[in-house]
Chains A and B, each alone.
Chain A
Amino acid sequence: MSTMKTTRDVKGVGVSIPRPDGPEKVTGRVQYVADIQPKGLLHAKLLRSPHAHARIVSIDVSAAKALPGVRAVLTAKDIPHLKKKAPTRAHAVLAIDRAVFMGQPVAAVAADELSIAEEALDLIKVEYQVLPASIDPLKAMLPGAPPVADAGTEADTSEALAHSAVAIAKSAAPAKAVNISQQARLQRGDPAKGFAESDHVLEKTYRVPMVHQGYLEAHAVLAEWDRNGLLTLWASTQGSFNTRSEVADVLGIPENRIRVIPVECGGGFGGKIRALCEPITAVLAQVTKRPVRYVMTRREELQAGMPAPQVIIKLKTGVKRDGTLMALDAETVIDSGAFSGAVLAVSAVFLGSMYKWPAFDIRGFEVLTHKPSVAAYRAPVAPQTIFAIESHMEQIARDLDLDSVEFRMRHLIQEGDPMVNGQQWVAAGGKNGKRRGVGLALGGWLGGLQPTGATVRLNPDGSLAVLTGQVDIAGTNISLAQIAASAYGVDTDLVRITTGDTDVAPMTGLSAGSKTIYTVGAAVLQASEDARRQTFEIAAAELEASVHDLELTDGKITVRGMPDKGITLATIGKKGNLYMSKTPPVLGKANPAFTQQAPGFAAQLARLEVDPDTGEVTIQDFVIVQDVGKAINPLGVEGQMQGGAVQSLGIALTEGLMFDDSGRLTNPSLLDYRKLTAADLPNLETIIVEVPAPAGPFGARGVGEPPIIPAPAAIANAIQNATGARLTELPLSPERIALALVNGKR
């Protein structure tokens, strides 16, 4: 390939190019699932359990069925053919005889109008026998706690596999307590000896509540069956092929009976990977023989979505007076809600791998509770774990009067050092009585991998058509187009990229794990190189020259040194589509699988002001520094860094699903569950660092997840810098800060 160089720099990789669908997005013309209005559309609603744990004694749907305009009312009795073991949330289509969290669907209605469906829900009579519930994960772990899963339900590790970020051996020890669904243990050296030889031992427990991803478009799906028994789903999903597989598994039909059309996705952040409402909507459409649309309300999202897990991390560290690390003892408890599926390994690996602990004992537990089950949220479990690590490291440095940056730099793991699972790290890189402070924290993500495909076609006008199945949420398609442009040798405006549905696109992975550019970008790069090679071979035959003597300039291939002897890309494209032509159409393809991850790290620095009377925090400056390998489209990279940082700041400052002792969510609205607004924030400064990833397209590494990780620790460290108070429970709300100052906690 090196001999076929592009003879001038094309407008491609490294340039800030606005996404081409921008005008559609700013004019309100882009269609999301809820905007699609097929003829004969029915609206679905779900009746949800008002109790966290209850036996369903009886359900009477007769009055609901009799309501004019109601086309179907379903309970678990109507769908006996669907799997009963319910290993995942998606499999629990409707509660069978027991509801295991408040908001679990118990009955489903499809009606001519949404208001009729809502009225029908009121007419369904369910008799519940309320049962004791396990709400606090630490209590749920104890023997004798009210059980969540039925005996024999398997742990679900597919979320961890979907992210393919880290893998560790699962602990073989059987769970003693009924609600412990997964366990892991990692050990190195002799921690007891390490602690005995330490001068400074610090023990703290860090707590992070469940937080909701908060994508502005709630879960939504539109389902329709044709007369041949083919199901079409218009889905708001982060991965159409994954949605197809999960729905096929739940419905017990082959994947080739389902076509998933990925409609514009109004945000996912990990919450729209797994199937949720797709199976029941498909069943309603099957029963009514009509298109059925289901759109979750915000209240349903907060009560019964798939948030990030509650995480409790106990850390005990031993160090020498000069800061030499000696021993680490850690225990992570992850509250997975009513179904298994948390990413347990991430926490354990980060706890032991970010700094060079010579001896450690790290234990991880996934615990089931009678709360909504969890899913990924942008770098799952990393912001929570890094909050503990980076708060703790800062505190050690402070206790020992060491410079906290120097202390970190001295002990940070380096390239080639072994991670806890034996894997090696690969190349990474006050005024007015108010008190001011600065805080810093680091955080990284290993980067996911997933096989993927792409094709690149030369059009008769000399432009390129790139096809993948990649769902574009953040603006990744423009970056993929830039990769194709640079690899083939045309300007980006001559590349059109299409996200195909599951019937037409090459198999493509999730938009998750910070891997779209790293993996799909690599596929597009290889397919573009393949298309370029084919194009040059055709040109060589036409021009009776060697491919090695050809060059591509401004859409024309010429023989080097003979600028008059050439053939345009348009001519080659036309010959590939002429009746009786002997020239094959150019169709580059690539379908790589991957083995090498590309970790990406970010550092975040906050300068803030704390009002000691009210505990109110005002962020004055916030800087995000991130190694992105190569910024394919700096405009998009900055947007990812800024957006991720604000989600991280929300976890730090305001967010948390609050459950009472009975498992009822006490803040089921965006008024009471506060997400950050523009008025809460300063302008965010971004500093892009480029340390190329060896296997990344043009050196790019994942960008999406690292920026959501450091802020909780950075803010906690800045608050300590400002006030002396060390806070260990998120969110860092005014009440907590003010109380900590009153109580003189340090």
Chain B
Amino acid sequence: MAKHVLSCTVNGEPVEVLVQPYVTLLDALREDMGLTGPKEGCGTGDCGACTVHVDGKVVASCLMLAMQARGRKIRTIEGLAAADSTLHPLQDAFVRHGVPQCGFCIPGVLMAAAALLEENPRPSEEEIRYGIAGNLCRCTGYTKMVTAISEAAEMLASQRSAR
């Protein structure tokens, strides 16, 4: 099958790669663009490990064809930290609260949480729990995750009010 040209923006940079028409966005990111942060945990959209943002919305990249991303803005875990590699407040809170154990779910959880905080800067505990309900974690029991997201939300809110 002939490959197609996929032009899109990934983590703020214009990208052009050749992909098979049947390839998922997740495989294109991982195999063709070298962005292995998004993980495949199930391949069927049930575990959330492949979560990325497409035009600011949370997407299970294993369920989207790469060519559907043509002309759109993709953000992966590799693009969550600042350009000077300062950790995003969510990432910083995850580290301080000792959230990551095996770490495999973490890129997806962080992208889901980042999208949540962009839509809802002051989520309740319940809203946080539902915000990451599409992401399975088998190590942490979620408690520290929820605490870290809540703390990052407060930090982001205070940064905004300081401006």
Contact = CB atoms under 8 A, between A and B. Distances in A.
Contacts of B102: 215-217, 264-268, 473-474
Interface residues of B, number: 61
Contacts of B140: 639, 642-643, 646
A28 B141 contact: no
Given A635-B98, A636-B98, A671 B46 contact: yes
B125 interface: yes
Interface string A297-328: 11100000000000000000000000000000
Contacts of A215: 102, 104, 138
Interface in A196-235: 213-218
Interface in B114-158: 125, 128-130, 132-147
Nearest to B130: A679
Given A27-B78, A635-B98, A679 B146 contact: no
B132 A643 contact: no
A22 interface: yes
B58 to A, nearest CB: 15
A333 B76 CA distance: 48
Interface residues of A, number: 57
B132 A678 contact: yes
Given A18-B95, A639-B98, A670-B42, A115 B20 contact: yes
A430 interface: no
A32 interface: yes
Interface in B28-83: 30-31, 34-44, 46-47, 49, 76-78, 80-81
A474 B137 CA distance: 13
Interface in A9-65: 16, 18-19, 22-23, 25-32, 34-35, 37
B77, B95, B96, B138 pick with most chain A CB within 10 angstroms:
B138
A19, A644, A678 pick with most chain B CB within 10 angstroms:
A678
Nearest to A217: B104
Given A215-B102, A216-B136, A678-B128, A646 B142 contact: yes
Interface string A260-280: 000011111100000000000
A28 B101 contact: no
Which DSSP category, helix, strand, loop or mixed, fits chain B's interface? Answer: loop
Interface string A530-544: 000000000000000
Contacts of A669: 42, 44, 46
A737 B135 CA distance: 27
Contacts of B30: 34-35
B10 interface: no
Given A677-B135, A677-B136, A217 B39 contact: yes
B5 to A, nearest CB: 19
B135 A264 contact: no
26 contacts: A22-B94, A25-B103, A26-B95, A26-B110, A27-B77, A28-B37, A28-B38, A37-B34, A215-B104, A216-B105, A216-B138, A217-B39, A217-B102, A266-B39, A267-B139, A298-B44, A299-B44, A474-B101, A639-B99, A641-B141, A646-B140, A669-B46, A670-B44, A670-B47, A678-B135, A683-B147
